[in-house]
Every structure is written in structure tokens, then in C-alpha cells.
Amino acid sequence: MNPLYKELQPSDAYCVRLPYPFSDFDRQILTGLYQPLVGHEAMAVLFTLWDEADRDGGAESNHYHLLNMLGMPVGRLFEARLSLEGIGLLKTYRKAEGDSRSFLYELQPPLDPETFFHDPILSMFLYGKIGAPAYKRLMQRFLTSPVPAGYEEVSRSFMDVYKPVTARASEPDDPNTYEKNARPAKLAFDGHDFDFSLLYEGLSAHLVPRKAFTPAAKDMIARLAFLYALSPLEMQQVVLLAIDQDAHLTDERLKRAAADYYKLSVSKSAPRVEKIPSGGQAPQQAAGPAKTKEDELADYLEAIPPVEMLRQLNNGREPMQIDVRLAQKLVLEHGLPTGVVNVLLQYVLLRNDGKLTNNYVERIASHWMAKKVGTAREALELARTEHDKYMNWKQEGGKPSAGRKGGGKTESVPDWFYKKDDKPEALPESQEANPEIEARRLRLIQKFGMAEGGAE
């Protein structure tokens, strides 16, 4: 699986397409039936995209502004996108043009309540999330009550009320004239790679005629096998329980037979549906060495937006706008990945007395772009190996700070910067440190779990 930075970057452009006009009832379905399944963050992403489509008509923007609007890092946005895609509420298209990428997000309408509750996967997913009492209340709220007893339908059909003006149409309809803007018929499902040939082998054609396996029946069998984690051999028993006297396999009989078989053979507890974790990250090894402090720092720098990192380093206060604009410029104009920008900002803050100097930052950024640095880990390593060069650049850009001895290593730096055995020199006692700068530097050191001298 691709690392996150290869899947999505804040500098990537996007636009939103709304092929189907959503209604207030759609909003009620989304909040009542879908939000318990995908979570509030995914629903916030959906509603934000919906608002942009209505307000801006699909105008192009970039993910950096979307992340600031939602107040979440790019990793959580990507996870929310996967949740929406998996549940059938979003289709994502990607276009690459050289080094830049753009995405098209097409919002999909929710299933109508009857289809939702009829689907065994979605209904059981919701049941497992909210429990029986809340599930029953939602069914009562969204499903139409049956017509009371004693009433007989006397509605006329279309042909009873209307007739054509001419015997034939003047021109045939162009099938491409109108775009299909209908609700999806059911939850998209690829069949779960279910082995129907193995299912057929154990079933006598006399007991279960092959004509009973209609496309609808096969689709329901595959969904139930996925939901209950049943093999083709186990589904043979379900089919035998579900077949009626007319050799038909209906959805309701299949669902009831699968539930009965599961309760008798597997567990009396209802099955649960869970999201596969770490959609955008490389899968971790089940058994392996624990993460080092540098690994944890690299993961942190990959996930957090630069503005949020600056805010955290500023003890929760809003960072200076000049620093924010510099971070945005590195991401949007220069196209540097978020993790690389975070390493760069952290490095300069530590080596430049807690200040971000545009010329100094951009000179290092130009060097990293030439080196094609793409991850926080690569940036950390380059900052370590090229430190002497960068310190010379700092001296060239201005006068040395008062009280410092040349360009030597005279201040506390993160664990990732020096090897564990190396220790920076202490500041002269006579130096008068700026309290604000020193406080900011100490907050930065504490944030990343670092101690003076690089000790853990």
C-alpha cells in the first residue's frame, strides 16, 4: 500500500461534482443512518464538499484550504475519504499532469431507507454500531408504515389516465441526451470473490435447480457470505434452508436462513462490520522492533499540517501571519510535501534563535527540492548530514547572534539531529538569552520528547 504522501498532499488541487441534487431528506438519511457507520469526521468532510459544490459550482481549490477549514491533518482527511468511498457516498477521480495532481470528488446520494435496511451488510453494520433500541427507533422513523387493514388500493395506472397524442414519436430519443441522476440501487459490492462453482458442486440440481440462482439471489448470497464470514460449503446449508417449495431463493428467506445458521453454528451474538485500519499508511509488521523516537517524530511530522505545528509550538496561540504565509508558500507554490515543510520549519526555528527567516528557509527549501526530498524521514536525514553547510548559509545571510562562538553547535537540538553520544556545547553563562525565544525553544524541545544534550 502506498505511503500517505503518495496518496494525497495538501498542495493537490480538487473540485467537487454534485450530479444529483441532494435534499433535506438526504441530509436526514446521512446523519441518521450513515454517520454512525463512518463517523463524524467523514460526515463533516461530506457536508463541507456538499456546501462547496452548492456554493462554488465545482470551482477548483486545493486541499490545503480544505484542511484548514476542517481543522484536521491530511492523514485524517484521507481516512475520512476512504470511509465515504467504501460506504458508497463518494467517488474519487485523479489526474496527474507532470508533478502536479488534481482530484475530482463526485458526491453520491445515499440509499433510500428501504434499500438501506433491506441490505444485510448495511443494516447489520448499523445494528452493531448503535444497538437494538436505537436501531428500532430509526426503522420507525425512516420506514413507511404499512397501509392499515381494510383499505384497498384503487389508484389508476399511467395508461389508465394518459394516452399518446400521436401513434409514433417524431424523433427517437437520444439515450445520451440526459444524464442519469438517480439514487444508487444498492450498496456497491464486488462479490467478495465468492466461489459459486464450489457452492454448486455440493448442491443437487434436483434439490436446488440452477435457475434458482438468479443474479439477485447470487448477489444476496455473496453479501451474506461476506457479512457472516461463511464459506461456500457453509452457504450450501444456508441455501438448502432458504429454498422454498417453488424452488425460489428470495432475499428475505436467504437473510433469515443465514441468520439462523449463524446463530446455531457460529455465535448467538450479531456479526460486526469494522473499517480496515490504516487505509493510507504502509501496513505495519505484526511482529517487529518497536518504533524509535525518530520514527515517531517522522510519523508526527508527516501527519500534522504546518500551520497546526506552528500553533502547537506557540503554546496553542495563533502563529504570526508572516510565518503562516511562509508555510503556505512552501506547500502551495513550491509543492513541498507537508512532512518536508514541517522538518524544514522545525530545523530553522531551532538553528535560527526561534525565528523563521524567509531567505534562509527558502535557500534550504531550494536545496531540498533539487535533492527531490519527498518524506519527513529523508528531510531529517539530510538536515543532519548537511548541517555544517546550512550553518554556513546562516552566517552568510546575517551577522552571528551576540554572545555566540562562531557557527559552532551551541544550542539544544532534537534527538534526531545529533547521534546519541554527541552533546552540544553549553551556552556561556554571561549570555543574556531572550526570554520569549528561550521559552519557545523549550516548548519545541518538550513537544518532541527531547531533553537537553540529546539524552532520552
pLDDT, average across residues 153-180:
59
Whether residue 17 is found in the same domain as residue 45: yes
Domain boundary at 248, 275, 302, which?
Answer: 275
Residue 156 in any domain: the answer is: no
- The verdict on 440 and 390 lying in the same domain is yes
175 lies in some domain? no
What is the sign of the dihedral through the CA atoms of 313, 317, 318 and 320? negative
Cell numbers that stand for 388 in this block: 555544517
pTM exceeds 0.95 for this model:
no
pLDDT of residue 121: 86
Whether residue 97 is found in the same domain as residue 246: no
Decide: 120 and 258 in contact? Cβ < 8 Å.
yes
226, pLDDT greater than 60: yes
For residue 77, what is the DSSP state? H
Instruction: Count Cα neighbours of 297 within 13 Å in the Cβ-side half-sphere.
Output: 25
All three cell numbers of 424, joined, read: 552540544
Q: Which of 118, 137, 124, 139 lies closest to 259 in space, CA to CA?
A: 124
Cell of 456: 532520552
The reported pLDDT for the residue numbered 182 is: 57
d(CA 228, CA 341): 46
Total of domains in the chain: 3
Q: Single out the residue in 56, 88, 110 at which a domain terminates.
A: 110
Q: Is residue 286 part of a domain?
A: no
pLDDT band with cut points at 50, 70 and 90 for residue 450: very low
Supply the CATH number for residue 23's domain.
1.10.10
> In this structure, are 36 and 126 located in the same domain?
no
* The predicted structure's pLDDT at residue 290: 62
Amino acid sitting at position 317: R
Residue that is written with C-alpha cell 463533516 in the block: 44
Residue 19 is part of which domain span? 4-110
Note the pLDDT tens digit of each residue in 146-157. Answer: 788 888 888 887
Percent of the chain with pLDDT over 90: 16
Residue-wise pLDDT for 283-337, tens only, equals 444 444 566 777 778 888 877 778 778 887 777 777 888 888 888 788 877 778 8
**229 within a domain of the structure (yes/no):** yes
Q: What are phi and psi of 347, to 5 degrees?
A: -60, -50
Residue 429 identity (one-letter amino acid):
E
> Is 285 a member of any domain?
no
> Grid coordinates in use for 153?
388500493
CA-to-CA dists, residue 391 to 7, 185, 210, 354, 400, angstroms: 34, 63, 77, 15, 10
Q: Lowest-confidence range among 77-91, 177-191, 225-239?
A: 177-191
Average pLDDT, the chain: 76
Per-residue pLDDT, 35: 94
Residue 21 in any domain: the answer is yes
Q: Is 228 inside a domain boundary?
A: yes
Domain identity same for 120 and 252: yes
| CB-side neighbour CA atoms (13 Å) of 218 | 16
With 0-12 / 13-18 / 19 or more C-beta atoms within 10 angstroms meaning exposed / middle / buried, residue 52 is buried
**Residues 135 and 263 reside in one and the same domain:** yes
Whether 49 is in a domain gets the answer yes
Strand 100-107 and strand 13-17: the pairing is parallel
Query: Are 130 and 40 in the same domain?
Result: no
